[in-house]
């Protein structure tokens, strides 16, 4: 049994270097990453291309070994096969065996995950039902559209009832309706007590879906926290006023009423997640470029 207080994923001081060529040079993909994903939360991993998201996910899945640091899944080292028993994974732009039907594919992965023959049919049918693929389950995977591939991919990821589900760009290339359907499935999984680690470029969807996010840039953690906290402008309050300039609450309210207006609500002004993300990344990109220029030309 998994202790609920335990982190679903715990990453400590994680660094990953890749050798480049035979010169002994190394490319640092992830540097000193510390991250905790709590149980039963939807956690978004954001970052531009080459920021280290995929490397981090691969290390969490035990597909890569870290150069330094450690990663655990519910207390077990991610390097062990045992840790992957509680993990389901949907890769980016998934490709499956084209000659199998959707149902056969889910059966195959279920059996690989150790689902017994006794409960196999029930488990497979229930996940196919959850992802809304009942009508197409008998068709060969080779005939599926991109959205259907993502759905059947989601089914194979959750068929063995894992506690942690890792989704790499689950809505990439899927139309808005399909993306909304996948988002609904993710919410349903959370309501069933699952933990979801989500990597996506569709920030608007992340904003509406995730409890917390982390932003990576050039392998380093830039920001982490609840979306509300990250995107709120802490230094200012905003007044949504109909027809009047902002001011003190009471005075404004009085003034508004005196002037015949109405104070509708007082709230924290927010940046959109897109704006926050771009701001954070661009700020660091400019700093990085300036550092490179200074290094090349110290004058």
Partner 1 sequence: MSFLSPSRIRLIAANTFLEAVRQKFFNSLLFITLALVASSTFFQQFDFGTSELKFIADFGFGALFFFGSILAITVTTQLFFNEIENRTALTMLAKPVHKFDFLAGKLLGVQLLMLAFVCLLSFVLAGILYWRETVLMSQFGPETFSEGRILRYGDILIFGFLQWLKFGLLGAITLFVASFSNTNIYTIIVSFCILVVCQLQYIARDAYGDMEQGVGRLLVQGLGLIFPNFQLFNVGDQLLFTSQEALPAATILRITLYACVYIAGFLLLAHLSFRRREI
Chain positions contacting partner 1, by CB under 8 A: 18, 58, 61-65, 81-82, 84-85, 87, 89, 91, 94-97, 99, 108-109, 111-114, 153, 156, 160, 166
Minimum CB–partner distance for residue 286 and partner 1 (Å)? 31
CA angle 129, 133, 137 (to 5 degrees): 105
Give whichever of 33 and 215 is closer to partner 1, judged by the CB atom: 33
Cβ-based nearer residue to partner 1, 165 or 202: 165
Quick one: how many helices (H) and strands (E) in the chain?
Answer: 9, 12
C-alpha to C-alpha distances, 224 to 10, 33, 214, 289, nearest whole angstrom: 14, 11, 4, 23
The DSSP string of 212-245 is EEEEEETTEEEEEEEHHHHHB-TT--EEEESSS-
Give the number of C-alpha atoms closer than 13 A to the C-alpha of residue 286, restricted to the C-beta side.
Answer: 5
Nearer Cβ to partner 1 (108/285):
108
Beta strands in the chain, from DSSP E residues, in sequence order: 9-20, 25-37, 42-46, 68-73, 76-77, 87-90, 164-168, 195-199, 212-217, 220-226, 238-241, 263-267
Report in angstroms how near the CB of residue 165 gets to partner 1 at its nearest.
11
Minimal distance in Å, beta carbon 87 to partner 1? Answer: 7
* Minimum distance from residue 206 beta carbon to partner 1 (Å): 22
Cβ proximity to partner 1: between 98 and 268 the closer is 98
Closer CB to partner 1, residue 159 or residue 263? Answer: 159
Distance CA 299, CA 113 (A): 60
74 or 109, CB closer to partner 1? 109
The nearest distance, CB 123 to partner 1, in angstroms, is: 15
């Amino acid at each position: 049994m998994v202790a609920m207080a335990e982190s679903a994923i715990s990453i400590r001081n994680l660094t990953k270097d890749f050798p480049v060529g035979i010169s002994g040079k190394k490319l640092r993909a992830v540097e000193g990453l510390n991250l905790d994903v709590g149980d039963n939360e939807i956690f978004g991993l954001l970052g531009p291309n080459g920021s280290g998201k995929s490397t981090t996910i691969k290390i969490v899945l035990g597909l890569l070994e870290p150069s330094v640091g450690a990663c655990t899944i519910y207390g077990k080292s991610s390097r062990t096969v045992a840790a992957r028993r509680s993990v389901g994974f949907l890769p980016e732009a998934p490709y499956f065996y084209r000659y199998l039907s959707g149902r056969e594919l889910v059966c195959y992965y279920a059996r690989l995950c150790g689902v017994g023959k006794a409960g196999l049919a029930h488990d497979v049918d229930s996940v196919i039902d959850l992802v809304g693929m009942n009508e197409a389950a008998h068709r060969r995977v080779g005939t599926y559209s991109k959205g259907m591939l993502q759905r059947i991919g989601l089914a194979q990821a959750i068929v063995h009832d894992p506690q942690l589900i890792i989704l790499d760009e689950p809505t990439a290339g899927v139309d808005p309706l399909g993306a909304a359907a996948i988002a609904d499935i993710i919410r349903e999984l959370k309501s069933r007590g699952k933990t979801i680690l989500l990597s996506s470029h569709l920030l608007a969807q992340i904003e509406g879906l995730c409890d917390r996010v982390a932003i990576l840039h050039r392998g380093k953690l830039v920001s982490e926290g609840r979306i509300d906290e990250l995107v709120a402008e802490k230094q200012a309050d905003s007044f949504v006023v109909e027809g009047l300039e902002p001011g003190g609450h009471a005075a404004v309210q009085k003034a508004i009423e005196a002037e015949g207006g109405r104070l509708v609500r007082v709230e924290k002004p927010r940046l959109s997640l897109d704006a926050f993300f771009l701001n954070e990344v661009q700020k660091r990109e400019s700093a990085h470029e300036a550092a490179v220029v200074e290094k090349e030309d110290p004058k």
